[in-house]
Amino acid sequence: MDLKQIERLMQAMKLAQIKRLALKQEGFEIELERDCGGRVTLSSPQERVYEERRLESPPLVEPVHSFPVAPSPSSESKSKVVGTAITSPMVGTFYTSPSPDAANFVKVGDVVTEESVVCIIEAMKVMNEVKAGVKGRVVEILVKNGDPVEFGTKIFSVEA
């Protein structure tokens, strides 16, 4: 996405009176937000381009800091992993079972193989099965059902 396309998005937001717009597209992510004064704020990897442009012209774009991430129990338990850790392959929401009324994929004490499905991570309304990738016995579940996870978050501890 180039500067002209982003400027068109900002104009469309103003005309349609949209306050907030988030767009993710093939490795590119942008969030635009208008305040009551009609200014648009921007958060993306391309902030430097806009920062330079902002210095040359009246302020149309103002960079916004990244989303604050609340510390989760999973981040605290990262240092307590016993054995091998199974980590999240993506950003999303962690679920221990395929549906709220179904049994968990695994529980503490269960033996898993590389191909065992251990959880689901929901990302953008898509349910992604996560396989263990290791053989062993589940020692600890490090994330609570429904918690947000990031890429690399330790979600299970498995002992060989």
Q: Are residues 90 and 133 in the same domain?
A: yes
57 Rama sector, left if φ>0, alpha if ψ -120 to 50, beta otherwise? beta
For residues 62 and 14, give the distance between their C-alpha atoms in angstroms, rounded to a whole number: 15
Nearest to 156 by CA among 104, 108, 111: 108
For residue 89, give the CATH number of its domain: 2.40.50.100
Entry pTM: 0.51
For residues 73 and 146, give the distance between their C-alpha atoms in angstroms, rounded to a whole number: 12
Instruction: Confirm if 112 and 104 have CB atoms less than 8 A apart.
Output: no
Please state the domain count of the chain: 2
Could you list the pLDDT tens digit for every one of the 160 residues in the chain?
Answer: 677 777 777 777 777 777 777 777 777 778 777 764 545 455 544 554 444 444 444 444 444 444 444 454 544 444 456 788 999 999 999 999 999 899 999 999 999 999 999 999 998 889 999 999 999 999 999 999 999 999 899 999 999 8
The domain of 121 spans: 73-159
Q: Are residues 77 and 50 in the same domain?
A: no
